[in-house]
Structures are given as structure tokens and as C-alpha cells.
DNA sequence: AATGAATGAGTTTTCATTCAT
DNA sequence: CATGAATGAAAACTCATTCAT
């Protein structure tokens, strides 16, 4: 179990930095601090390794969001909590966040497997939105696009922040993303509601 | 010139489908309908080929947005026109749109070159936003994040649409993206302004 | 002792089916129902394992032939008994028979060890022939080739039978091989001597 | 075409000496005097290479036999001519002959492909036998075994000769094989027919 | 200009063997 | 005695790039 975890970390590191295709199994092994053969003792191959990583990572992210959302019944509070969880998770797992964006659309064949994993995450987002719509707080939405919009908005901004390596004021970032998503560019500033 | 254009098309095709790293120069040549050697007669190498593609594609997209925005002085009208241009361009260049998302974050070394290209596009978006803010129509924004948010929201939804291969009502998609971006999930429906 | 025998069986199984080089020690262990480490507790290595198998198998075959031949003094009867023993042994040890043919010529380095083992078997065949020649029943033969001819004729036909998986009439097969070897394609049919 | 032929020769060399599994593609390339990549430019992979070799070699052997047999209508003459052709071909292609015996039964998966190739050769032998049986010169035979018997008898003896590296009197070898096959160990010596 | 055969450095994967428990 | 996680040397295969034609 020890080694398997080392491999997990090494793989996230390597894939996040170089991208799945450009990172070699040698690099993964080196960063994991294990011999190359050990990689193949624990994982069938490179492909299975990335799938495991994505499943694990998205699962954790999804759980973090679920937990945060469970704290309140208020739709707006839920969206804020969800975005807060996303930002916090990304901040604690910068490597994985890069890997996620780099790999999620990378390969047509893998697409199928990833999409399934991602779908469960999207379903969670959809659930939050539906709750708010049902309560009459959110506008009705074309639900085939809504989770993608949320995901795209939040993820791409976060990635930008991570890639620029700047130490970010998390609080401020969450505020921005929440306001933007909730009220758009035209809406009131949530910090100073009239 | 004929051949160079064939190569351009073949490369977009191949890179969009398989991703930059997994697409081989053989595949590019095959899809372009030229011999492999011809690729190297017209382009220095694989790396230079993708850079040329990105530059060309983003340039076209950026121009399309600029042209659309130039039609009006009204900030909201400009945002709508810009989103309309993005959707239209993506619809006419589905392959390139896939390639864009797949390759833009792919590789750290290339990052630099791409970022430069992408920056000019982001600058254009920033300009539109600044215009609206200046007019007092849009809320003040953290401008280091604002173009990323816009780009992420629009691009990821469009990609979702393209990947699902569904024939989409462009009009409805633009409406959704505009409303979402302008007013957020809580805002009024743009179609039925009070 | 129990485990050693399991390994023996597992190794025959694995080597017979996949060939020595393509069968892995994992497969041997699995078929033997022991852990991989156990293989190395009982045998020095893969090479030593195949040698042990061949020695054991050819020894058994050789003994079976010797025993059958000892029943009679009549040269023709001895050849028939020998062929009968070969067919019977092959039928009871189909796996080993496949392994024998697959591995006997496989590798130049191993050749030496195997040749020694095989030589004792060939010597036995040579003895039977010499006995018949001495009695004036068999024609003088070029003895450097005679045992190979006998071995090749019988073994390849048996292998063919085994590989085709057909349930064979042993009696008829022995008759055929004996007649063919004794009288050639032109000789009388042993079953209906004129 | 030049290189393809070099590869053919190099592969026969390497596979004959080390056996298919133990010969590396590096060795094949080295013996062929080409770069490793060239191997893969001309052949899909190792598996396809051995298949091509077998097909080519058995085809040549089969043709040589056919040509020899066509010279006469006499059944016994045909068998002698066939064996003569086999010995001659083996003598001129010692490497291929070793490869044939080493690889023909090596691998269960490959078995299928090889068997098909070998079958055409066996069919030729069957044809010769049927001709003689029809003429009433040869005894009726169980034709499911007859070609295997012929093949085994001749091939294994030839292999023995090749492996021992002795310079052989071809004439004498053909005589022996013919007599053995035609009259068995008990039959008259063909050299001194009564 | 265009071609495609040839290359070899680089990558993934396999597997016999070891050794701490 | 027995185990199975860990190893690393070795092997098959890929592919961007070159170059003679």
C-alpha cells in the first residue's frame, strides 16, 4: 500500500507537469521513488494509471463538493459552498488540477472512460442547480449545458491562477467566481448587496 | 500553396481527433493527401506545425470577434456579438475548436508560445469588458481573471456540444451563453426582459 | 514433496501449451497452485526446471520402452512393443509429448544438455535395431541416422494426432506406425499378411 | 527491395540459430545490416516476420518438390525425386531447415497460421501417395497420418545431419531415406534389389 | 517541389529472479 | 518451508526527422 501511494503521487506529479503523453513511465517511477517494474506490478499500464488517477481525483473533488453543499439548504449558499470547495480542493491539489484539465479532453479513446467519471461530478452540479430552480431562486436553465458552463467557468479560471503560480487570495477568488456565476458581469456585487 | 493548405487541413484533422502527441506525422500526411517528406518541405517540424495552426486559428477567431464587436458601441450588444461570433466560428471550425482545447494546456514548454498567441485574444476580450465597465454598464471586475472566466464558460460549453455531435440550435446556444455570462444563473431571462 | 510435484505438473502444463520461452514463471506458479517464490525454493531457475522435466519425461519414456521390449526376444515383436509403448506413453502424457517436441530443438545452448538425455533414449532404440540386424531380420542400416528416423516418424505422427485433439484408436495407430516403419509404404499390410 | 531481402536473410539466420523467441529484433537487424526501424518499415512486427519467412520457405520447398516430381510418372520415381528435392533444398538452405523444425510447433497461437501454410505442403505429399496407391504400387494408407509420417521421417533425420554439422554424402542420405520410407527396415536394400 | 525509404533515439512493457517476512 | 512485493535488465515497438532521388 505504501508503494502504491507513492506511485499515485509520482504519477500526478509527472502527468501534471509534462502531460500524460510526454511524461514517461521512467519519470513517474523516479518521482515516485520506486523501480519501473513496481509501476507495472501495481498498475496494468500507463493507460490504467491515468484512469485510476482521474477516478480518484474527481471522486475526491466530488466528495468535497458534496460535503460542503450538505451544510446548508439555501440554494445560493450551496453554490457558494460548492465553489468554495472547488477552489479549496484545487488549491490543495494544484498538481491534480492541472492534470485534470490537461487530460480530460486529451484523447478520443480515453474520452469514454473519463466522461463516465466526469458525468457523476456533473450530475452533482446539476442536482444543486435543480434544487435552486425548484425553489424558484435560480432561473430555469438548459440543463444539458448548465453544468459544463459552471465547470468551465470555475476550472479555467482556477487553472489560470495555478499556472501563473501566483499566491492567490482564496477568499477573493471564491467571491469573484461566485458573483460572476450567480449574477453575471452585470449583476450586483455580492459583497455589497444593496 | 495548394499543398501547404492541404497540410493545414490534414493537421487540424489529425491533431483534433488524436491530440497533438498521439497524432503522428504519418497520419497528418495521410489526411493531407501528401507524402510525409512534403510536410517537412513546408514546415520545419511537428512543433512548428501546431504553433502555426494555433496562431492561424486563434487569429481567425480573434478577427471574427473583432469584426462582430465593431458593429455596435453598446457594451451589452458587443458581448452578445462576441459570443455570437465565437459560437459561429466554432460551428464552422469544429475540428479547430477541439484542437484548441486539447492543445492549449498540453505542454509546459509550448505553453510560452501559445500563451502569447492566446494573450492577444484575451486582450481583445478584456477590451470589450473595459469598455462596458467604463460606460458603467458592467460591474468592475478583477481583470486578471475576467477573460479566463469568459473564455472558459463559452469554450467548455461549446466543446461539450461539439463532442456530443448533436446538431445544435445556434441561436438558442448564444442566448444561453449570453444570458448566463451577463446575468448569471439568478438574473432575468434576457429573452423576456422586464 | 507435495509442492515439488505440483510444480512439476504445472510446469509441464505451462511449457507444453505456450512453449518454454513464452510460458512465464507466473503461469507455471499459477497452474501449479503455488506462489512464485516457491518455484525458486524447489528449483534453481527456469532453465533447471525444463531440464528436470525433460530428463524425467524422457527417462520415463525410455523406461516404458525398455520394459515393453524386455517381454520378447523376437526383433519384430520388440519393435512393435516399443512403438506400442511410445504411443501408450504419449497418450497418457499428452502434455509432456507436446513439450518434448516443442523444446527439444528450441535452443542451441540447451541443446547440449538435452542431447545427452535424448542420446540415452536413442541408444536404446539403436540397441533394438542392432539386435534385429544381428539376427538377420532387419536390413543393415546407417546407424547414425536410424534412430532419428524412427524417432521422427513416430513422434511427428503422434504429435499431429495430439494437436488435432482427436480421440484416436491407439491400436490402429500402433499398427500403422509399425507397418510403416517395418515395411514402408510398399510393404505388405501387417494386418492381412498374405 | 534490396533491404527487404537483407532482412529476410538476417531473420532466417537469427531465428535459426537462437530460435524465434530468443532471437531479438536487434540481432535480426544487425545480421541483416539494417537499422532496427527498417525492420518495422518493411514488416509489421516480429510475428509477421516469422510468418513471412515460413510461408516463403515452405513455398520454395514445396515448389522444389513439385518440380522434381513432375519429371516422372512412376510412383516410386516420384517419391525418390521428392525426397531428393527435400534433401537438396535442406542442404542449400540449412538455416531455414533448422528454423522450420524449431518454429513449426513452437507456439499455439501461431500454430493456426503455420498449419495452413504447412497444409499445402502436406497436400502435395498426399497427392504423390494417392497417385501411387491408385496405381496399385503403394499400399492403401491412413491418409490422415501418412504425410506426417513422411515429413517426420525425412525432416528429423535431415535436421540431425545439419545439427551435427557433418559434411554428408547427399546421395547416400537420399538412398537411405528412400529405402527406409519405401520398404521399411525389413525391406530389400534398394541399392541391391533382388 | 515532392517523395518515401531508412534511421535510431526514446518509450512502453515483460519477466526471471531476489529477499524480507 | 512458503510467500509475494519489488526489482531492473532486456525486449518489442514507435515515430519525428533526414536525405537521396
B33-46 tens-digit pLDDT: 999 999 999 999 99
Question: Residue C161 is placed in which grid cell?
Answer: 494426432
At B125, the pLDDT band (50, 70, 90 cuts) reads very high
At C108, the pLDDT band (50, 70, 90 cuts) reads low
Residue nearest to nucleotide F2 (CA to C1'): C38
pLDDT at C194: 36
Beta carbons of B99 and B153 less than 8 angstroms apart: no
Q: Which of D102, D181, D188 sits opposite C105 (nearest CB)?
A: D102
Q: How far is the CA of C185 from the C1' of F4 (A)?
A: 57
Beta carbons of A59 and A123 less than 8 angstroms apart: no
- Contacts with B127 (C-beta within 8 Å, 6 or more apart), sequence order: none
Distance CA A25, CA A39 (A): 8
Question: Residue C64 is placed in which grid cell?
Answer: 516404458
pLDDT of C188 strictly over 60:
no
Give the least confident one: C1-5, C54-58, C83-87, D99-103.
C1-5
pLDDT along chain D (194 residues), means of 10: 90 94 96 97 95 94 97 95 97 94 81 85 96 91 94 96 85 94 70 37
Q: Could you tell me the pTM of the whole model?
A: 0.89
B124 touches strand E (CB under 7 A): no
Q: Which candidate, B147, B142, B146, B101, places its Cα nearest to that of B122?
A: B147
Question: Residue B20 is placed in which grid cell?
Answer: 497533438
Beta carbons of B119 and B55 less than 8 angstroms apart: no
pLDDT of C190 strictly over 50:
no
How far, in Å, are A94, C6, C24, C29, C58 from residue C39 at the CA level? Answer: 46, 10, 12, 7, 22
Whether chains B and C touch (3+ CB pairs under 8 A) is answered by: no
Delineate the domains of chain A, giving CATH numbers in brackets: 1-43 (1.10.10.60), 48-186 (1.10.357.10)
Dihedral sign of CA atoms D32, D33, D37, D42 in order: negative
Is C192 an 8 Å CB contact of chain D?
no
pLDDT, one tens digit per residue, over C27-50 is: 999 999 999 999 999 999 999 999
At C139, the pLDDT band (50, 70, 90 cuts) reads confident
- Contacts with A28 (C-beta within 8 Å, 6 or more apart), sequence order: A7, A10, A11, A14, A15, A39, A49
Which residues, given as ranges, of chain A have pLDDT below 70?
1, 187-194
Mean pLDDT of C115-128: 92
The answer to whether the Cβ–Cβ distance between B151 and A148 falls below 8 Å is no
Mean pLDDT of B49-70: 95
Phi, psi of C47 (to 5 degrees): -60, -45
Q: How far is A183 from chain B (nearest CA, A)?
A: 4
> Helices in C2-145 by DSSP H: which ranges?
2-18, 25-32, 36-42, 46-69, 75-92, 94-104, 108-134
Give the least confident one: A22-31, B136-145, C78-87.
B136-145
Is D157 an 8 Å CB contact of chain C?
yes
pLDDT, one tens digit per residue, over B76-93 is: 999 999 999 999 999 999
Report the mean per-residue pLDDT for chain B. Answer: 90
Whether chains B and D touch (3+ CB pairs under 8 A) is answered by: no
Distance CA D25, CA C12 (A): 28
Crossing angle for the helix pair C146-163 and C170-183, to the nearest 10 degrees:
150
Q: What b/e readout covers B127-150, taking b as 16+ CB neighbours within 10 angstroms?
A: ebbebbbeeebbbebeeebbbbbb
pLDDT at C187: 62
How far, in Å, are A47, B96, D147 from residue D119 at the CA level? Answer: 41, 53, 10
pLDDT of B60 strictly over 70:
yes
Phi, psi of D191 (to 5 degrees): -70, -30
Beta carbons of D43 and D7 less than 8 angstroms apart: yes
Question: Residue C23 is placed in which grid cell?
Answer: 510460458
The HSE-up count of residue C135 (CA atoms within 13 Å, CB side) is 15
Q: Which of C17, C22, C153, C172 to mutate to test the interface with D (most CBs of D within 10 A)?
A: C153
Question: Residue C152 is placed in which grid cell?
Answer: 521422427
Among all strands, which nt has the closest C1' to B24 (CA)? F15
Q: What b/e readout covers A51-73, taking b as 16+ CB neighbours within 10 angstroms?
A: bbbbeebbeebbebbeebbeeee
Whether chains B and A touch (3+ CB pairs under 8 A) is answered by: yes
Footprint of strand F on the protein (CB under 7 A): A 2-4, 34-38, 40-42; B 22-26, 36-37, 39-40, 45-47; C 1-3, 34-38, 40-42; D 23-26, 36-37, 40-41, 45-47
Q: How far is A194 from chain B (nearest CA, A)?
A: 14
Among all strands, which nt has the closest C1' to A26 (CA)? E11
Q: Which residues of B touch A183 (CB under 8 A)?
A: 183-184, 186-187
pLDDT at B187: 63
Dihedral sign of CA atoms C143, C144, C148, C149 in order: negative
Q: Cell numbers 533425420 label which residue? A: D157
Give the least confident one: B103-107, C144-148, D145-149.
B103-107
Beta carbons of B99 and B93 less than 8 angstroms apart: no
Question: Residue A60 is placed in which grid cell?
Answer: 475526491
pLDDT at A190: 40
How far, in Å, are A136, C157, C184, D178, D182 from residue D186 at the CA level? Answer: 105, 21, 8, 13, 10
Distance CA B100, CA B104 (A): 6
Crossing angle for the helix pair C146-163 and D170-183, to the nearest 10 degrees:
60
Distance CA D180, CA C164 (A): 27
Amino acid at each position: 500500500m505504501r508503494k502504491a501511494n507513492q506511485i499515485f503521487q509520482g504519477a500526478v506529479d509527472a502527468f501534471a507537469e509534462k502531460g500524460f503523453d510526454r511524461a514517461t513511465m521512467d519519470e513517474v517511477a523516479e518521482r515516485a521513488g520506486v523501480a519501473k517494474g513496481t509501476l507495472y506490478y501495481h498498475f496494468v499500464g500507463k493507460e490504467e494509471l491515468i484512469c485510476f488517477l482521474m477516478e480518484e481525483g474527481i471522486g475526491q473533488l466530488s466528495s468535497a463538493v458534496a460535503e460542503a453543499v450538505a451544510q446548508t439548504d439555501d440554494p445560493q449558499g450551496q453554490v457558494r459552498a460548492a465553489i468554495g470547495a472547488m477552489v479549496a480542493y484545487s488549491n490543495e491539489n494544484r498538481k491534480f488540477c492541472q492534470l485534470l484539465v490537461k487530460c480530460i479532453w486529451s484523447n478520443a479513446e480515453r474520452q469514454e472512460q473519463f466522461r463516465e467519471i466526469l458525468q457523476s461530478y456533473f450530475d452533482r452540479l446539476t442536482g444543486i442547480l435543480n434544487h435552486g430552480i425548484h425553489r424558484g431562486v435560480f432561473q430555469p436553465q438548459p440543463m444539458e449545458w448548465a453544468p459544463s458552463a459552471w465547470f468551465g467557468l470555475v476550472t479555467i479560471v482556477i487553472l489560470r491562477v495555478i499556472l501563473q503560480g501566483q499566491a492567490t487570495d482564496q477568499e477573493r477568488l471564491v467571491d469573484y467566481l461566485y458573483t460572476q456565476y450567480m449574477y453575471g458581469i452585470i449583476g450586483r456585487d455580492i459583497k455589497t448587496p444593496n
